[in-house]
Amino acid sequence: MAARKPDAANEHQATIFVFGTKLLVTLRGIDAATAQAATAKLEQQFQHMQRNWNAWKSGELTDLNQAIADGRSMAVSPHLLGLIEMAKRFESLSDGLFNPALGGIVGAWGFHSDERPMGYRPDLPAISTLALRKPTMGDVSIEGTVVACTNKWVQFDFGGFAKGVALDLAEETLKSFGIQNALLNAGGDINSMGNGGACPWRISIRDPKSSGVIAVITLAPDEKIYTSGNYERFHEIDGVRFAHTLDPRSGIPVDHIISATVIADSGALADATATALTVAGPRDWHRIARKMGVKYALLVDERGGIHLNPEMRARISFSSDRAFTLIESPPL
């Protein structure tokens, strides 16, 4: 997704590199000094989160993963504890289709890297064995700040919703500077604050089968819009593409959905739900979306068909560049 750039008075932009992508911060209705101070604070916070939430570089999360592998419990920081609590809740709501305990399987596929993996051949028998160990957030217990786990094969990887959590925290930081109108765009995953002022936030939803746009939507105040896509991070082995989104039930990449776009009132929920709907696929996405409590969703399947609920259909304007096959669901 991409935000359309309007002409706006008192608009300030900054770019921060975080979680393997560029975060474009757009602030409106404030002076330059406040904008500079706010973005400097954001950069400091994102560096801390990236250091401690990374599943493959040394930090608090890798320390916790090692403790679990060793059969030890570990006290964690409030920020990491909050991530784990949300992960447990979202896994439960999604019937296990969103599962941040699969870090060992994600790593076995070669996706623990800042760059798109190339030329890597995963050990499929080893991946199958890991999947049979059934790592799940249900194996994790929390007492105070201490995290323990009954399954040593659990390895946390919060890539499925870390951006959403981080952008939600960034909003709180911007509010502390008195900022009311802002757009945080992390590689197409977007948190909006306010209504954009004189120029509402208008967002383009990318067509995953081309370089074009499926549709455009105007966000309501404080909405978040996130896409889980299988078209950027993948392996290609013997001409077959294996995407980075894994089905927790098998440990195998999903292939029935190319992208899932969700609008919600929190980045964490939108991010986690988009991942879960990608796994759920055309047959089960509507049930999972309803369970997770979202009202707007749009999915693109491997044939280019667009699945969406009537509430989402009523809000978007489709591109006139090509025809679309729409598969409309009952209301959410």
Q: Which residues, including other chains, have CB under 8 Å from residue 279's CB and lie 6 or more apart? A: 97, 98, 245, 246, 247, 248, 254
**Phi, psi angle pair for 259, to nearest 5°:** -155, 155
Does one domain contain both 83 and 198?
no
Domain annotation covers residue 90: yes
* Chosen domain end from 149, 178, 212: 149
Between 35-44, 85-94, 318-327, the lowest mean confidence (pLDDT) is in 318-327
Does one domain contain both 315 and 270?
yes
Tell me the two tokens of residue 6: 């309007």
Domain annotation covers residue 158: no
Does one domain contain both 109 and 206?
no
Give the CATH number for residue 80: 1.10.3980.10
Does one domain contain both 243 and 172?
yes
**Closest to 254 (Cα-Cα) out of 324, 207, 301:** 301
Q: Which domain holds residue 185?
A: 2-48+165-328
Domain count, the chain: 2
pLDDT in tens, 120-172: 778 889 999 999 999 999 999 999 999 999 999 999 999 999 999 999 999 99
pLDDT at residue 185 in the model: 96
pLDDT at residue 242 in the model: 66
pLDDT at residue 115 in the model: 64
Q: Which residues, including other chains, have CB under 8 Å from residue 179's CB and lie 6 or more apart? A: 27, 29, 30, 34, 38, 193
pLDDT at residue 113 in the model: 73
Read off the amino acid at residue 54.
N
* Chosen domain end from 96, 119, 149: 149
C-alpha to C-alpha distance for 182 and 178, rounded to whole angstroms: 11
Read off the amino acid at residue 65.
N
Q: String of b and e for 201-234 (b: at least 16 CB within 10 Å)?
A: bbbbbbbbeeeeebbbbebeeebbbbbbbbeebb
Does one domain contain both 137 and 264?
no
Does one domain contain both 73 and 41?
no
Percent of the chain surpassing pLDDT 70? 91
Between 35-44, 61-70, 191-200, the lowest mean confidence (pLDDT) is in 191-200
Does one domain contain both 42 and 58?
no
pLDDT at residue 124 in the model: 87
**Over 70: is that where the pLDDT of 239 sits?**
no
Domain annotation covers residue 159: no
Q: Are strands 326-328 and 306-308 parallel, antiparallel or unpaired?
A: parallel
Query: Residue 124 CA to chain centroid, in angstroms?
Result: 26
**Over 90: is that where the pLDDT of 237 sits?**
no
Q: Find the distance separating the first CA and the last CA of the chain, reported in whole Å.
A: 23
**Over 90: is that where the pLDDT of 234 sits?**
no
Burial of 271 (0-12, 13-18, 19+ CB in 10 A): buried
Domain annotation covers residue 240: yes
Q: Which residue is associated with the tokens 């969703």?
A: 297
Structure-derived torsion over alpha carbons of residues 286, 288, 289, 291, reported in degrees to the nearest 10:
120
**Closest to 151 (Cα-Cα) out of 143, 164, 141:** 141
Tell me what the pLDDT averaged over the chain comes to: 90
Mean pLDDT of 241-261: 85
Give the CATH number for residue 306: 3.10.520.10
* Chosen domain end from 125, 149, 173: 149
**Over 70: is that where the pLDDT of 246 sits?**
yes
**Over 70: is that where the pLDDT of 233 sits?**
no
pTM for the full predicted model: 0.91
* CA-based torsion, 293, 92, 205, 159: positive or negative: positive
Mean pLDDT of 98-119: 83
pLDDT at residue 208 in the model: 81
Does one domain contain both 207 and 314?
yes
pLDDT at residue 62 in the model: 96
Domain annotation covers residue 155: no
Domain annotation covers residue 143: yes
**Over 60: is that where the pLDDT of 6 sits?**
no
- Do you know the residue count of the chain? 332
Does one domain contain both 283 and 214?
yes
**Closest to 222 (Cα-Cα) out of 181, 172, 164, 187:** 181
Between 157-171, 235-249, 306-320, the lowest mean confidence (pLDDT) is in 235-249
Give 7's pLDDT tier (boundaries 50, 70, 90). Answer: very low
Domain annotation covers residue 154: no
Domain annotation covers residue 177: yes
pLDDT at residue 21 in the model: 85
* More confident of the two residues 169 and 231: 169
Q: Helix count (H) and strand count (E) of the chain?
A: 8, 20
C-alpha to C-alpha distance for 292 and 8, rounded to whole angstroms: 36
Does one domain contain both 33 and 79?
no
Does one domain contain both 182 and 43?
yes
pLDDT at residue 4 in the model: 47
Does one domain contain both 258 and 169?
yes
* More confident of the two residues 213 and 119: 213
